[in-house]
Each structure stands twice: as structure tokens, then as C-alpha cells.
Chains A and B, each alone.
Chain A
Amino acid sequence: GESVGLHLPTLSVQEGDNSIINCAYSNSASDYFIWYKQESGKGPQFIIDIRSNMDKRQGQRVTVLLNKTVKHLSLQIAATQPGDSAVYFCAEMNFGNEKLTFGTGTRLTIIP
């Protein structure tokens, strides 16, 4: 049978390099987007968010880009570190119902 845990897209990046994680969202009416980081055995941790009236937002070592035309969201992590290894999820919300819908996730591995 199928093994769980192998359906996630994966990305391997050399330590110190920049990484870009992509996400295609489904609802053109979504107002708000969040990126989460989930380390093994832990709950999702908020990284950065962006509202639909923006196309870019920067945090510490992270940048989120939003392209509403093609319903695409990306997370850029600069100068990656071993502690960045985790599964990253994008999530979208419509302020009308306030429910957060998650994407499938990407497993990022930082190679020392």
C-alpha cells in the first residue's frame, strides 16, 4: 500500500543558500494568507502573513509574495540555516467565514 508522508513536495537547499517555497491557492475571494512552519512533533508555527491588498511583505529572513492574478503565493527564506528544515504550509482565509484552509505543504531540508 501507499506510504504516508511521501506525498509532500520536497525541496533540498544547501545551507546558506536562499530557498523559495511555492503555493497555489484555490479561492480567488481569499482575503488573507499565512505561512506556517511545522517541525517534527510540533504544532504549526506562524511565520508571516499577507493580506490580499498587498503583493509583498518582508520579515526577518523571510519574504512572502502574493500574485492574485494567478492565485500564487511564495515564501522566500534567505540564508537558510539547519533550523529551517521543516514542513511549510500556506493557508488562506476569507474574512467572511474566518476559516483557514491549508495547502498540501512542502518539506524543506537544509543540507549542511
Chain B
Amino acid sequence: SAVISQKPSRDICQRGTSLTIQCQVDSQVTMMFWYRQQPGQSLTLIATANQGSEATYESGFVIDKFPISRPNLTFSTLTVSNMSPEDSSIYLCSAGDRRSGNTIYFGEGSWLTVV
């Protein structure tokens, strides 16, 4: 199984600022994704992080608000831009490898509170 580390694990952010979350996987993976989980709710896919190319965003999420990078097969970043209190949420990085069965593993999440 893949071990996924996220930084920061928790932060309190000022309205209007941006924050970049880092995700490091302990092995090369073909798939990386970013999810959002609002308090007490299920997980919603933000985007698929594509290695070496632009991320693929889900309906309701746009690159200007959530720019994503994936420079290689083990690392990705998600930036939450121009934050508002509505962006207070858990942001989760996930990864999997289709060469070993498509199982998707998750990091522990980055808990953001916007004040």
C-alpha cells in the first residue's frame, strides 16, 4: 500500500490569502487525486492531478481557485486561492497505481480553517 504524507496537517488562514498543500507518496503512482471533505460530509473529488500536464477538474472546481501541480510520480500540490470561510474544509490527497490493482489510498488530510 502507498503511504501518503500531507503538509500542513492543519492551518488557520486569513480571508483572501492562498495556501499550498503538499502531498508526498512513498512510491511512484500512476494516479493522484485531490478531494475536499466539508465537516460531517462525504468526500468530493476536486481534480485528478496529471503528471506533467494540467489537472483535470470536476464540475464546480476551477483551476484559478484550485491550481494543482504534479511534477513527478510521487508529488503533488494543491493551492487554495483567495480563501473565504466557505473554503474551510479538509483537503485530502489520494493516490493509487493501476499497475497494482487501482486501490486508492488517502493521506491524513489538511484541515483548513479560514477566518
Q: A49 contacts B45, CB within 8 Å?
A: no
A7 touches which one: B41, B44, B105, B107 (CB < 8 A)?
B41
Chain A residues, Cβ within 8 Å of B1: 46
A16 to B50, CA, bound (A): 45
A residues engaging B (CB < 8 A)?
Answer: 4-8, 32, 34, 36, 42-46, 49, 89, 91, 93, 95, 98-105
Contact between chains at B42 and A42 (CB < 8 Å): no
Which residue on chain A has the smallest CB distance to residue B43? A102
**Do the beta carbons of A43 and B109 come within 8 Å of each other?**
yes
Chain A residue at smallest Cβ distance from B102: A32
> Which B80-115 residues sit within 8 Å CB-CB of chain A?
92, 94, 96, 98, 102-109
Q: How many residues of B contact A (CB 8 A)?
A: 25
Cβ 8 A contact of A43, one of B48, B98, B103, B107? B107
Q: Is the CB of A100 within 8 A of B94?
A: yes
Give the distance in Å from the alpha carbon of A8 to the alpha carbon of B43 in the complex. Answer: 13
- How many contacts A-B (CB < 8 Å)? 58
Q: Across the interface, do B40 and A7 meet the contact criterion of CB distance under 8 Å?
A: yes
Q: Tell yes or no: B52 within 8 A of A by CB.
A: no
Does A99 lie within 8 Å of B45, measured CB to CB? yes
> Is the Cβ of B40 less than 8 Å from the Cβ of A100?
no
Binding site for A on B (CB under 8 A): 1, 4, 31, 33, 38-45, 48, 92, 94, 96, 98, 102-109
Instruction: Report the bound CA distance from A6 to B106 in whole Å.
Output: 24
A-B pairs with lowest CB-CB distance, top 5: A5-B40, A4-B40, A43-B106, A43-B108, A102-B43
A100 and B45 within 8 A (CB):
yes
Q: Judge whether B41 and A43 touch: CB under 8 Å.
A: no
Which A-chain residue is minimally distant from B93 (CB atoms)? A43
Q: Are B106 and A45 in contact (CB under 8 A)?
A: yes
A46 near B98 (CB under 8 angstroms)?
Answer: no
Task: Find out whether the CB atom of A8 lies under 8 angstroms from the CB atom of B102.
Answer: no
| B26 → chain A closest CB, angstroms | 15
- A45, B104: Cα distance in complex, Å: 10
Contact yes or no, B98 A98, CB < 8 A = yes
